Chain A
Amino acid sequence: MPTINLSGAQKNYGVNSANAVSNLDLEIRDGEFMCLLGPSGCGKTTTLRMIAGLENLSDGEIRIGERVVDSVRAGVFIPPEKREMGLVFQSYALWPHLTIERNTDFGLRLRKLPKEEREQRVEKVMQALDIAKYRDRYPSQLSGGQQQRVALARMLAVNPGVLLLDEPLSNLDARLRLEMRAELKRIHKEFKTTIVFVTHDQWEAMTLATTIAVMNEGTLQQMGTPNDIYDRPANRFVAEFVGSPPINILTFGSSASAMSRAAAAYLGERYPSSRGVGSVGIRPEAIGYATKGGDVPAGSFTGEMTVTGVLPTGGSWILELRNDNDTLFLTTNALPRVETGSRVDFFAPSDALHVFDKDGQRIAEADALLRARTLN
């Protein structure tokens, strides 16, 4: 399928209501596995439905290749049934009155394919998704995971150019979810389909996507590879939304805490124009700690704090450190040799600092400077 292009796409559900999606530019290239990631109500499902044609635009345009399929200004609207896409609903939306086989066969019948070819394709996709043995059952007789696979099979049978998935894993239990993630990745490889996947689960997005588009309040926050999103969050929202436990944020300004002032001073030595900085973020796993008198690497941002909590998460630990008004979380994979009440020195290398301006946007020029200092 050619590239799908959204430009200036906008959706509001009423004259006075806020935009569900505003001014969205998005490009989905052939063969991509794109995740739309964001908290609930951020407009990601609306975006998906706009692409499918199930939701009308309030403004903007959607193109598939050079062909405009939806445009308010040009007065173009190609209905969903003519867009040749596949969509797996969060609720699966299997047709309750049709058997699994008929559910899978539905789209092929509409395309008036010869019987042999239909049977062949249904068989192939049912085998691929391991649902052939349920062919004569009705959807209500299947478990959630099986229904989910039928919903996938139904769409894959017609071999759509792009497969849209609306939180398809959210109704499954943890183990099934893991299996289906692997399944989706396999399908992406095997069928070479472009996939657009909506989720609010950051791990799902991280593990599956080739590109992640983070959305919030109807606007696109950042688009990039999973690593990029995690390592170079474009703004504070992305930084705080992605990552668990969440990133530590130190806010600068007149009411700054002791640690924030220390961070400001530390930053000032390395980044001369730090007056415009609004806050600094440090991921918990980038922070190390040393017991009193232990080694603190030179050139790191450091300070003394009290351990107020040691929380095992199985395989790793979260440490909560406090000092007056400051709280810091760090994670470690080594068994902590400290207890609640111990005084420790935390430290973070300069390139672990994410610098944001007063509007919360990442200051990209600071990155190079901070990294250079570490290398020295």
Chain B
Amino acid sequence: MALLSETAKASTVPDGAIAPTPWQRWRYRAKVASREPTTLIGILTALLFTYLIVVPIISIVLDSVRVQFGHERRLGKDFGDLTLYYLDRAFLSPVSVDLFWRPLLNTLSVALGAISLSLLIGTVLAWLISRTDMFGRRWFATALIVPYMLPAWTFALAWTTLFKNRTVGGQPGWFEAMGLTPPDWVAYGRFPIIVILALHYTPFVILLFGSALRRFDSQLEDSARILGAKRYQVAIQIILPLMRPALLSSMVLIFAKCLGEFGVPYVLGLPVKFEVLSTSLFRSIASRQTGVAGVVAASIMLIGIMTLMIDARLVREARRFVTVGSKGSMNRQSRLGKYRLPATGFAALIFLLSVGLPLLTLFLSTIMKLPAQFTLDNFTLDYWIGRDLNTVALQTGILLSPDLWAAAKNTLMIVGLASLTSGILGLFVGYVVIRTPVKALSVYLRQVTFLPYLVPGIAFAAAYLSLFAVPRGPMPALYGTVTILILALIADQMPYASRAGISAMTQLGKDPEEAAQIAGAGWFRRMISIVIPIQKGSLVTGVLLPFISGIKGLSLFVILAVPSTDVLTTYSLRLVDYHYTQAANAVVLIIAAIAYLGTLAAQKLTKTNLAEGLGS
């Protein structure tokens, strides 16, 4: 009975039946939050990223509706006044066709072409790699991803090396040199751009579609077979509907990537005035049409944001099917039978076209004096290590040119510093996002660091130019400095860095840290003894992956770099512009080598799969 009365006591309502006042609640929450610097760090990083990410974007959007410097007289308004002139010029005026509409149409056609072609090739390859007994599946699984590790315009340069015709001056392409003049539509413009982008983005399809195929539970297939479905019926009624999210998702991602692609259309489109949105934006900036550039950049951002929102929807859709792959997911192989050899041949052909041929072409072009003359006396190492060459500029081989080393040094310094910073910031963001008791802060940080992902690099660079080209408040004008490159790179890399940080912190869970807390460790002690040592590996990834993508990145630099801050990519582009084909190709080969070896090293170091680097 005594115990029963205790039960009764336990269930009596205490005197505090009325809820605590909002002030009491707020004070308590503030007390809890202020025990640790997590929230403070969160607020500081949130402010930093607002300045580095949100403000530039707002700035360029404002540029598009305000009178720009130099247009005051023409528009009869003061600098900075609101105006619809630029919108009108970009969307409605007679020149709008050249400034916006045709580039938009070209972008769409190129993207659609690239998507169709890469889906066609990619789905077949993904299926061959993940579900058949094709020869050398494992090797192909890695080899066919290589195109994505190389900068896309590597292929563009290889293409010009092969197909360049008399339309453009400089060293002729191999076919031209052999007397077969390729028509313009083969040499430049839509067709080569589509082919190259398709080859470059096929790995996307292989990775996304392939992993969906691997996770596909073969019991679902078996159930259908047992109920009497034929193989093609299984494929159409069971597999295809379940694969749809992965397919759509890779389509959307390729579209978003094509939208921001600059190097390939720049190299291949310019000779025949084939413009896409990114090159049109570049031209507007180069000709100081800041207002129009703002409109075009904002349009690119808008399209980018829309497509990636569609993608987010699709991913959510795909999550509905997650249970599909939960249990009994077996990697059953289809026997190819007599098609085994042809299938392997197909995969090998794609590898040759997308990796072997371009790299070999580029390499040969750097050791041959005259194109397409395969005689022994035509080979030379002069373009790499020669001295006193009889040329106007660049009189030494590329490896002996101080410009190359200056560019390499710049690259390492700028990209290295930016990657290191964004890697560390990424870990901080991850920590705050997962740990802060202030939910709004967590949501804001997560979203603001992801924002640059939605904005194609070239538009983002334009935004930086718009904000930092002139002194604003305490910030001096940064155009032409290393600082603006580093800041832009940091912001541009934050999506990957913060995603790496967040996923690392999610994986770690809170238990190890809470255990340390219980053991009596304060915040700094926990950071130093527990969190950072455990996260060492992911910190390395968080630095290395952005570094690799930064090294081969072009679109940010092409807008923000000046000759004194040349990096390897812009340097090679400058060489292209000067028609130093061999030197340009050599530099691109160097970049490709660094990017490829870096990716391999990152994989070895972190024991991660290539798929992890996807999207970087």
Residues of A within 8 A of B (CB): 7-8, 23, 25-26, 52, 54, 56-60, 71-73, 75-77, 79-82, 84-87, 89, 91-97, 106-107, 110-111, 151, 154-155, 158, 219-220, 222-225, 228, 232, 234, 362, 364
Contact = CB atoms under 8 A, between A and B. Distances in A.
B520 A107 contact: yes
Interface string B330-368: 000000000000000000000000000000000000000
Given A89-B514, A93-B511, A106 B519 contact: yes
Nearest to B34: A77
Contacts of A7: 14, 16
Contacts of B25: 58, 72
A284 B521 CA distance: 51
Contacts of A107: 519-520
Given A223-B10, A364-B4, A60 B16 contact: yes
B29 interface: yes
Contacts of B19: 59
B514 A364 contact: no
B404 to A, nearest CB: 42
A337 B394 CA distance: 106
B231 interface: no
Contact of A95 (B1, B14, B525, B530): B530
Contact of A25 (B14, B20, B437, B522): B14
B12 interface: yes
A23 B511 contact: no
| Top 7 A-B pairs, shortest CB-CB distance | A93-B511, A107-B519, A8-B14, A93-B515, A75-B27, A224-B3, A80-B517
A29 B13 CA distance: 21
A59 B15 CA distance: 12
Interface string B519-540: 1111001000110011000000
B518 A73 contact: no
Contacts of B529: 106
Given A56-B28, A76-B31, A158 B534 contact: no
Q: Chain B contact residues (Cβ within 8 angstroms of A): what range?
A: 35 or more
B13 A23 contact: yes
Nearest to A368: B1
Interface in B433-467: 437
A225 B6 CA distance: 11
B10 A220 contact: yes
B74 interface: no
A6 to B, nearest CB: 10
B12 A232 contact: no
A96 B28 CA distance: 34
A77 B31 contact: yes
Nearest to B536: A97
B521 A81 contact: yes
Contacts of A75: 24, 27-28, 31
Given A77-B32, A232-B3, A234-B4, A106 B516 contact: yes
Contact of A80 (B3, B518, B525): B518
Given A25-B9, A25-B10, A81-B518, A93 B512 contact: yes
A232 B1 CA distance: 9
- Interface centre among B9, B10, B27, B529, by most chain A C-beta atoms within 10 angstroms, is B10
Contacts of A71: 28
A228 B437 CA distance: 40
Interface of B: 1, 3-4, 6-7, 9-16, 19-20, 24-25, 27-29, 31-32, 35-36, 437, 509, 511-512, 514-522, 525, 529-530, 533-534
Contacts of B516: 95, 106
Contact of A223 (B7, B16, B509, B512): B7
24 contacts: A7-B14, A25-B9, A52-B514, A54-B518, A56-B32, A59-B16, A71-B28, A72-B25, A75-B28, A80-B517, A81-B517, A81-B520, A81-B521, A84-B520, A87-B515, A89-B514, A89-B515, A95-B515, A96-B512, A97-B534, A224-B6, A225-B3, A234-B4, A364-B4
Nearest to B525: A110
A73 B515 CA distance: 28
Contacts of A224: 3, 6-7
A73 B16 contact: yes
Contacts of B20: 59, 72-73
A158 B520 contact: yes
Contacts of B511: 89, 91-93
A364 B14 CA distance: 23
Contacts of B31: 75-77
Contacts of B520: 81-82, 84, 107, 110-111, 158
A354 to B, nearest CB: 13
A228 B3 contact: yes
Contacts of A225: 3
A147 to B, nearest CB: 12
Nearest to B515: A93
- Interface centre among B4, B515, B529, by most chain A C-beta atoms within 10 angstroms, is B515
B28 A158 contact: no
Nearest to A88: B515
Contacts of B521: 81, 106, 110
B73 to A, nearest CB: 57
A18 to B, nearest CB: 15
B509 A73 contact: no
B46 to A, nearest CB: 22
A173 to B, nearest CB: 21
Contacts of B16: 7-8, 59-60, 73
Nearest to B518: A87
Contacts of A72: 20, 24-25, 28
B437 A52 contact: no
B191 to A, nearest CB: 54
Nearest to A75: B27
Nearest to A8: B14
Contacts of A80: 514, 517-518
B589 to A, nearest CB: 40
A26 B29 CA distance: 23
A362 B520 CA distance: 44
A8 B189 CA distance: 73
Contact of B11 (A56, A97, A151, A220): A220
B293 to A, nearest CB: 45
A134 to B, nearest CB: 18
A8 B17 CA distance: 8
Nearest to A49: B514
Nearest to B534: A97
A52 B12 contact: no
Nearest to B4: A364
- Interface centre among A75, A79, A111, by most chain B C-beta atoms within 10 angstroms, is A75
